[in-house]
Homo-oligomer: A and B are copies of this chain.
């Protein structure tokens, strides 16, 4: 029985307060100098409460108040990082990371506490951790290929603004898909390049295209060049999509979607749909990096969280093409349960009972 457990036992109300302030501190860390109303709308805490809590945290010297809002003080950063460690310890995430890396033959797994499905703050944390990881591995002259998606968009946003003195070329690995400009690979590449202080290329092509036009598009020099560049990437950062979500984004009709589901598709990446064993069950004619290209890339980093994405994560990681996975606790634990189950039963079973 460790310290925290004992404390929670004799001071049960500690949990609420602790969680609230931890959330608040993380939000302050993420949003930089930020005001109480922004925090209120971002978190699920009323304005007055945010205010009271900030007063306390300020009195403790953990945050500082500038003209444009509050931000973490130096000490606040230290305390918060200790809180991060505590959360990791509390949920024993290091053990889950190792187990998951072993089970899925990954070089490294990074898990942030929480569940993106339940708490948007967790997705932000995941994005920040991913950004920090990128900073730690990117070297001068590296080529970084990125895909689209909401998670990766957040990674780009939460990249710290401080200058990063390594010249990195960011190249989109996939064409454009859907109408939301924020989550396009192109946009993310630009944003990341800005934050990294590097250069970028744009892939002026749609992601989903009729099969008959694919070859024609790929002959286009500027497109061909960008794709070729992405094949030579040193690091590939890609999101993980659920089969349903990606079918929707691609505007699949009901029939095709039903077909996908019938084939056992649960995850998507690079225009391929995979079943839980990581086998390709459906292929789209698409523009951008393809699965076999990944074999030449030294470091393939998959990012995605939320327990609703667990099947998709399991599927994509099971392809054996990824080296690193950054996810959250909700997803990771479910992935491990699913993995154990599919190994025993040798197939996909009903999902529902896992939503406890």
**With a CB–CB cut-off of 8 A, which chain B residues contact A21?**
10-11
Q: How many residues of A contact B (CB 8 A)?
A: 27
Q: Is A78 an interface residue (CB 8 A)?
A: yes
Q: Does A94 contact B (CB under 8 A)?
A: no
Known: A1-B78, A3-B86, A4-B3. A18 touches B11 (CB 8 A): yes
A59 proximity list for chain B (CB < 8 A): 12
Q: CA separation between A245 and B88, bound complex, in Å?
A: 55
Number of copies: 2
Task: Give the shortest distance, in Å, between A79 (CB) and chain B (any CB).
Answer: 5
Q: For chain A, what secondary structure do more than half of its interface residues adopt (helix, strand, loop), or is it mixed?
A: helix
Question: A166 contacts the other chain (Cβ, under 8 Å)?
Answer: no
Bound CA–CA A113/B219 (angstroms): 79
Assembly CA distance A83 to B59 (angstroms): 28
B-contact 0/1 string along A12-23, CB 8 Å cutoff: 111001100110
Partner of A83, one of B10, B13, B60, B83: B10
Whether a CB of chain B sits under 8 angstroms from the CB of A62 is: yes
A74 shortest CB reach to chain B, Å: 13
Contacts of A3 in B (CB 8 A): 2-4, 86
Identify which of B1, B11, B57 contacts A10 (C-beta below 8 A). B57
B10 x A60 contact (CB < 8 A): yes
Tell me how far the C-beta of A152 lies from the nearest C-beta in chain B, rounded to whole angstroms.
Answer: 31
Complex interface: chain B residues within 8 A of A4 (CB): 3, 7
Residue in chain B with minimal CB distance to A12: B60
Task: List which A188-238 residues lie within 8 A (CB) of chain B.
Answer: none
| Minimum CB–CB distance for A271 against chain B, Å | 46
Q: How far is the CA of A343 from the CA of B257 in the complex (A)?
A: 86
Check A62–B9 contact: CB distance below 8 A: yes
- Could you name 15 residue pairs across A and B whose Cβ atoms are closer than 8 Å? A1-B78, A3-B86, A6-B86, A7-B14, A10-B18, A10-B22, A10-B60, A10-B62, A10-B83, A11-B14, A11-B18, A11-B21, A12-B59, A13-B17, A14-B14
Supplied contacts A6-B86, A10-B60, A10-B62, 18 more A-B pairs, CB within 8 Å: A1-B79, A1-B82, A2-B3, A3-B3, A4-B7, A7-B7, A7-B18, A9-B60, A9-B62, A9-B79, A10-B21, A10-B22, A10-B25, A10-B79, A11-B14, A12-B59, A13-B17, A14-B14
